[in-house]
Copies of this chain bind each other. A is one copy, B any other.
């Protein structure tokens, strides 16, 4: 049986980045940037005042004090977004509002609080320092700077900065289309009544949401029954997508046909059965150069298989340079016994308390217990060689 880390390496080696497409910057929110963004401008584009006050020449304020103000002639007024033609000559000041460009000739802004009006002139009550209250052009971004790197997931601030750079659209990675096919004679649609032996197709729904959450486009391909020809037809209909996911049909049972049918259709099997719980029968292969994930059918195993293998594959296909998952250490609040040789992904609730993370399981961990999945905000990840982890020990936790 292959280990999780080796299996994941195989998955990541097998998938390539998608091509790019244009998107308006509003629509690019939450997408992955497919180009480096450099600035064509200084931002800010001009020196401007950080305060309401008077733009002055520092030399004119030499020796000024509260007792003996430096009297200057007010030669005009500058508002943010207003006329920019003002100029400060020797012995003059220009009234200036926050955000207004620094007029020619001036090299400092004196706050209005450090001035007073005297006979229509302004008296500056302090020596000004060169550059005082002036925000310099390019102090945020310099022309030519690399502002956002290819592969960045575009968040709120990025959308703002793209707007500030005057960039209306960008190249983003095309979102992979992900075919989702449930399998099994026992699977019924969600609007059918429960009958003995039947289970509703919840996997198609949780997978749909998981695909959306990591940036793919979910395509529901329905349910395939446990007969070889029907399964083959359904699987064939998935091949127009960029990724194919099935749930169920990958265990050891006599009617678990997925592996054999896929191999028969030309899939190169990369691995089947991973040393993990839940989700041992995870299967991965390549068909028509596309990744195929045969996830186990138990609802929790399906979701964990997605989290461990499919999500990293989608992120790589999107060209993401940074994963936002956080792995931390937490103090365990209960003993956990596990089977040696398997990596365990245990649904957990993790909280920050008194300067450290504390974690506990969400209850029974059977691979059918979806209710323990919805309570979880994290996974406790226990390595293959452990058999017993005790209350109070530190464990690795992946925050979701």
**Is the Cβ of B26 less than 8 Å from the Cβ of A196?**
no
Residues of B within 8 A of A272 (CB): none
- The residues of B that contact A117 with a CB separation of less than 8 Å are none
Task: State the Cβ distance, A169 to closest chain B Cβ, in Å.
Answer: 10
A368 sits at the interface (CB 8 A) = yes
Contact with A303, one of B79, B160, B364 (Cβ below 8 angstroms): B160
Contact partner of A52 (CB less than 8 A), chosen from B191, B195, B202, B252, is B252
Residue pair A99, B371 in contact (C-beta under 8 Å): no
Q: Known: A190-B168, A209-B159. Is A84-B368 also a contact (CB below 8 A)?
A: no
A129 at the interface (CB under 8 A from B): no
Interface flag for A206 (CB, 8 Å): yes
Complex interface residues of chain A between 248 and 299 (CB less than 8 A to chain B): 251-255, 297, 299
Interface string of A292-332 (1 = CB under 8 A from B): 00000101000100000000000000000000001111000
Q: Find chain B residues with CB under 8 A from A184 CB.
A: 80-81, 99
- Structural contact, A370 and B161, CB atoms closer than 8 A: yes
How far apart sit A35 and B265, CA to CA, in the bound complex (Å)? Answer: 46
A349 to chain B, nearest CB (A): 11
| With known contacts A139-B364, A212-B29, A45–B194 Cβ distance under 8 A | yes
A334 within 8 A of B: no
- Number of identical protomers: 2
Structural contact, A370 and B81, CB atoms closer than 8 A: no
CB pair B352–A327 under 8 Å, yes or no, is: yes
The answer to whether A394 and B355 touch (CB under 8 A), given A80-B185, A253-B97, is yes
Contact status of A254 and B52, CB under 8 A, knowing A160-B303, A196-B46? yes
- A160 in complex: contacting residue of B41, B156, B185, B299, CB < 8 Å: B299
Q: Are A135 and B366 in contact (CB under 8 A)?
A: yes
Q: CA A304 – CA B236 in complex, angstroms?
A: 50
Pair A203/B374 contact, Cβ less than 8 Å: no
What is A's interface to B at a CB cutoff of 8 Å? 25-26, 29, 41, 43-46, 48, 52, 78-82, 84, 97-101, 135, 139-141, 145, 147-148, 155-168, 184-187, 190-206, 208-210, 212-213, 226, 251-255, 297, 299, 303, 326-329, 352, 355, 364, 366, 368-371, 373-374, 376, 394, 399
Q: A135-B366, A156-B213 are in contact. List 11 more A-B contacts (CB 8 A).
A: A26-B208, A44-B368, A45-B196, A80-B197, A81-B197, A99-B297, A100-B186, A139-B366, A157-B376, A163-B202, A163-B205
